[in-house]
């Protein structure tokens, strides 16, 4: 009876929200689902992208008793990024391109429905795979209005009936012949579904688009570079942080920072994650690297690539922007997630701000901003091995670049970081840190309001970086750099040189002060998203295939289990019939495993847009390929 009462209460709450005047049904439904810990209704667990659950059954005292309770094979090889959605008792999981989507019944662990990708007439899956950078991964699904949404690798956005799996509508979001693809997880906001575009390594001009969830018609589209109107930037109303204050960006803020028409092939793609503040009605996301990777070919700040954006969800109008890495010289793609938190942090004037946005960037800097105004509050290294930047000037907001590690200063056809002999991998190397993989790549962080810490799945690698001249050809790789990646060999917390060959770091970071609370070294890069819970635990996966549980206060390991393949997927947690579960997709791949994936499949490990580096060359000793969904729980009471 208690179960029925709880279900009735949830249903009543949803009904009340749906009937509230002025609130879109899809928005209210997703908000209500996210507030009920039985569900995992968005990529981040909630609109704020905190990846925090209020469930407590699995906690720092009971985690040692976890066990796998059932598994499901996806039937797909290659990389499995993203994670499961759990909505109203059904589990939804997905694979990379060419895609499959499964709706799973938790009671019987059986398939309710299966979607299998079928290419449109004129679409060649082989061509699509050829222009997908860094494996054929997909970062997940979205739910809203009784539909499941996926941004497919062939740059089509689909809506499926969540109960039956039948196609409701499909819309073209990009042109793969130009190198435009999709790998991101969409986000349903009000009566729209938000998606971006991939292809920065092909000179694709980035944008964010909103489609009406009823029929797939385009509501608005806003570019990362170019004329003000096409970016939905108002010269007088859109602001940025400069000279110690928030000020209008001014006319032609992007065009002035590019040479000629380079902005048309300027990158700034949007393949990461999107967050939303319902009270402010703002969508937050990051734009990626400018094209090409050779900085010598594109003078200027290359705005607004490498930028945190805040846009009005209804119109797409940009409220504020903040560029993290002007004139990127290292491929420090700025697409990592924006985590929206409410706690105190001081600005440079001593004023306390409470509505915060935190962002752990690939460039190795952790940022905290006022998410309403865009005021910069914190910009500090979360890995002290980082050396391309000395610090961020908090008045201007600009990084102070260390010329020793500037690939622009080094010039074309010189391997910056390779040392006097110019040969990567020799004893005199003075590597650029972090590598292009970033001090953290796309796997999302978790935030605990109990500890007030951000938990970071980190990379701990450095590189040599050699730019070279490259002409643009539509649909062909537009990279223009060769790099070699190595373990950082420095302590994450102090920056002191050591002899460690570890390439990963689990780091707890204070977003109010920008300080590292503690960190745990991992042998391989961490490439899976984390979850924090009210049970004072953090749960994540590793490239060797372990699901691990750590104490959220100390980092002490509480549990580990070896899943069938390397984990580059995001952990989710939910409840069913009063019991807490944890689920994760395993399946080696992504940029971090692309060489091994191609090698094991009998393909060329040096793909066109990969810098031909065996980033994790010993992974094959630890894990094979293969997509498996594994569900964990505590033993049932006897």
- pLDDT, position 515: 98
Whether 145 is catalytic: no
3-state secondary structure of 495: coil
- The answer as to whether 17 is a domain residue is no
pLDDT along the chain (638 residues), means of 10: 34 36 64 96 98 98 98 95 97 98 97 97 95 94 97 98 98 97 98 97 97 98 98 98 97 98 97 97 98 97 98 98 98 98 96 98 98 98 98 98 96 91 80 97 98 98 96 95 94 94 97 98 97 98 97 98 97 98 96 74 49 57 91 87
- The answer as to whether 6 is a domain residue is no
How far apart (Å, rounded) are the C-alpha atoms in residues 581 and 66?
10
Q: How long is the chain? A: 638
- pLDDT, position 6: 38
My answer on whether omega of the bond before 292 falls inside 30° of 0, hence cis, is yes
3-state secondary structure of 27: helix
- pLDDT, position 304: 98
My answer on whether omega of the bond before 98 falls inside 30° of 0, hence cis, is yes
Query: Which pair of tokens denotes residue 310?
Result: 């805040």
User: Is the distance from CB of 437 to CB of 592 less than 8 angstroms?
Assistant: yes
- The answer as to whether 4 is a domain residue is no
* CATH at 451: 2.140.10.10
Any idea of the CA torsion for 294, 297, 300, 305, to the nearest 10 degrees?
A: -50
- 328: exposed, middle or buried (Cβ count in 10 Å: 0-12, 13-18, 19+): buried
Distant-in-sequence, close-in-space partners of 245: CB < 8 Å, separation ≥ 6: none
Query: Which pair of tokens denotes residue 452?
Result: 């007030």
- 116: exposed, middle or buried (Cβ count in 10 Å: 0-12, 13-18, 19+): exposed
Beta strands 147-151 and 192-195 are: unpaired
User: Is the distance from CB of 424 to CB of 418 less than 8 angstroms?
Assistant: yes
Query: Which pair of tokens denotes residue 268?
Result: 């700034």
DSSP 135: S
- 579-594 pLDDT, tens digit each: 999 999 999 999 888 7
Alpha helices per DSSP H over 92-237? 125-130, 228-231
Q: Which CA distances in Å does 270 have to 176, 199, 260, 262?
A: 15, 9, 23, 18
DSSP 154: T
How far apart (Å, rounded) are the C-alpha atoms in residues 347 and 479?
38
Query: Which pair of tokens denotes residue 385?
Result: 């091995």
226 sits in which H/E element: none
The residue written with tokens 């290419």 in the block is: 119
How far apart (Å, rounded) are the C-alpha atoms in residues 394 and 414?
32
- pLDDT, position 602: 59
- The answer as to whether 402 is a domain residue is yes
- pLDDT, position 620: 77
Distant-in-sequence, close-in-space partners of 524: CB < 8 Å, separation ≥ 6: 503, 504, 542, 543, 544, 592, 616, 619
- pLDDT, position 9: 33
Q: Interhelix angle for 2-19 vs 25-35, to 10°?
A: 150
- The answer as to whether 12 is a domain residue is no
- The answer as to whether 15 is a domain residue is no
- pLDDT, position 423: 79
- The answer as to whether 14 is a domain residue is no
Distant-in-sequence, close-in-space partners of 553: CB < 8 Å, separation ≥ 6: 60, 451, 536
**Domain around 392:** 25-633
How far apart (Å, rounded) are the C-alpha atoms in residues 194 and 148?
13
Domain count, the chain: 1
- The answer as to whether 128 is a domain residue is yes
How far apart (Å, rounded) are the C-alpha atoms in residues 56 and 215?
40
Query: Which pair of tokens denotes residue 30?
Result: 């997703």
Half-sphere exposure of 235 (CA within 13 A, CB side): 11
Q: Is the pTM of this model over 0.85?
A: yes
How far apart (Å, rounded) are the C-alpha atoms in residues 218 and 220?
6
3-state secondary structure of 590: helix
408 sits in which H/E element: helix 407-410
Closest by CA to 381, choosing from 362, 365, 363, is: 365
List 331, 333, 536, 610, catalytic entry: 331
User: Is the distance from CB of 513 to CB of 534 less than 8 angstroms?
Assistant: no
- pLDDT, position 5: 32
How far apart (Å, rounded) are the C-alpha atoms in residues 357 and 276?
11
Distant-in-sequence, close-in-space partners of 454: CB < 8 Å, separation ≥ 6: 339, 358, 360, 366, 445, 446, 447, 508, 509, 510, 511
- pLDDT, position 250: 98
């Amino acid at each position: 009876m208690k179960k029925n009462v709880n279900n009735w209460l949830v249903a009543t709450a949803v009904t009340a929200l749906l009937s509230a005047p002025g609130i879109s049904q899809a928005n209210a439904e997703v908000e209500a689902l996210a507030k009920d810990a039985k569900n995992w209704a968005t990529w981040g667990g909630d609109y704020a992208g905190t990846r925090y659950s209020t469930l407590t059954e699995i906690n720092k005292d009971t985690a040692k008793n976890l066990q796998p309770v059932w598994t499901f094979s996806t039937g797909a090889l290659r990389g499995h990024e993203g994670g499961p959605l759990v909505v109203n008792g059904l589990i939804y999981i997905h694979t990379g391109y060419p895609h499959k989507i499964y709706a799973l019944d938790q009671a019987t662990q059986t398939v309710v429905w299966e979607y299998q990708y079928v290419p449109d007439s004129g679409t060649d899956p082989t061509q699509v795979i050829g222009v997908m950078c860094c494996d054929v991964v997909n970062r997940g699904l979205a739910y809203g209005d009784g539909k499941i949404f996926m941004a497919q690798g062939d740059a089509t956005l689909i809506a499926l009936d969540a109960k039956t799996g039948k196609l409701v509508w499909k819309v073209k979001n990009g042109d793969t012949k130009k190198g435009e693809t999709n790998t991101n997880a969409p986000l349903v906001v009000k009566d729209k579904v938000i998606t971006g575009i991939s292809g920065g390594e092909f000179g694709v001009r980035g944008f964010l688009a909103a489609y009406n969830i009823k029929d797939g018609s385009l509501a608005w589209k806003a570019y990362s570079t170019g004329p003000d109107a096409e970016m939905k930037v108002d010269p007088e109303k859109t602001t940025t942080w400069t000279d110690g204050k928030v000020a209008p960006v001014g006319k032609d803020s992007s065009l002035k920072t590019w040479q000629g028409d380079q902005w048309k092939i300027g990158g700034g793609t949007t393949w990461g994650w999107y967050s939303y503040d319902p009270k402010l009605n703002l969508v937050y996301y990051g734009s990626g690297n400018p094209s090409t990777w050779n900085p010598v070919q594109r003078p200027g700040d290359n705005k607004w690539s490498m930028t945190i954006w805040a846009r009005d969800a209804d119109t797409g109008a940009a409220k504020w922007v903040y560029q993290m890495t002007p004139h990127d010289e290292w491929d420090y793609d700025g697409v990592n997630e924006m985590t929206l938190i409410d706690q105190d942090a001081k600005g440079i004037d001593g004023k306390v701000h409470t509505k915060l946005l935190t962002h752990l960037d690939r460039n190795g800097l952790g940022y905290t901003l006022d998410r309403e105004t865009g005021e910069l509050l914190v910009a500090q290294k979360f890995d002290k091995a980082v050396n391309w930047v000395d610090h961020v000037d908090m008045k201007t907001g600009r990084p102070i670049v260390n010329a020793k590690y500037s690939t622009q200063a080094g010039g074309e056809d010189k391997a910056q970081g390779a040392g006097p002999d110019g040969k990567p991998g020799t004893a005199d190397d003075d590597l650029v840190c972090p590598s292009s993989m970033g001090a953290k790549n796309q796997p999302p962080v978790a935030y605990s309001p109990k500890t007030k810490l951000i938990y970071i799945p980190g990379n701990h690698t450095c590189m040599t970086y050699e730019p070279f001249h490259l002409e643009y050809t539509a649909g062909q790789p537009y990279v223009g750099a060769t790099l070699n990646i190595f373990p950082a060999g420095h302590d994450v917390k102090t920056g002191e040189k050591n002899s460690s060959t570890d390439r990963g770091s689990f780091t707890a970071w204070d977003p109010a002060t920008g300080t590292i609370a503690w960190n745990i070294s991992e042998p391989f890069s961490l490439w899976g998203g984390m979850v924090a819970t009210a049970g004072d635990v953090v749960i994540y996966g590793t490239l060797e295939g372990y699901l691990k549980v750590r104490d959220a206060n100390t980092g002490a390991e509480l549990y580990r289990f070896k899943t069938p393949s390397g984990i580059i997927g995001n952990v989710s947690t939910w409840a069913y019939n009063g019991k807490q579960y944890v689920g994760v997709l395993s399946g080696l791949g992504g940029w971090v495993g692309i060489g091994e994936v191609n090698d094991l499949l009998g393909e060329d490990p040096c793909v066109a847009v990969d810098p031909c580096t065996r980033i994790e060359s010993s992974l094959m000793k630890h894990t094979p390929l293969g997509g498996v969904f594994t569900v964990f729980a505590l033993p049932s009471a006897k």
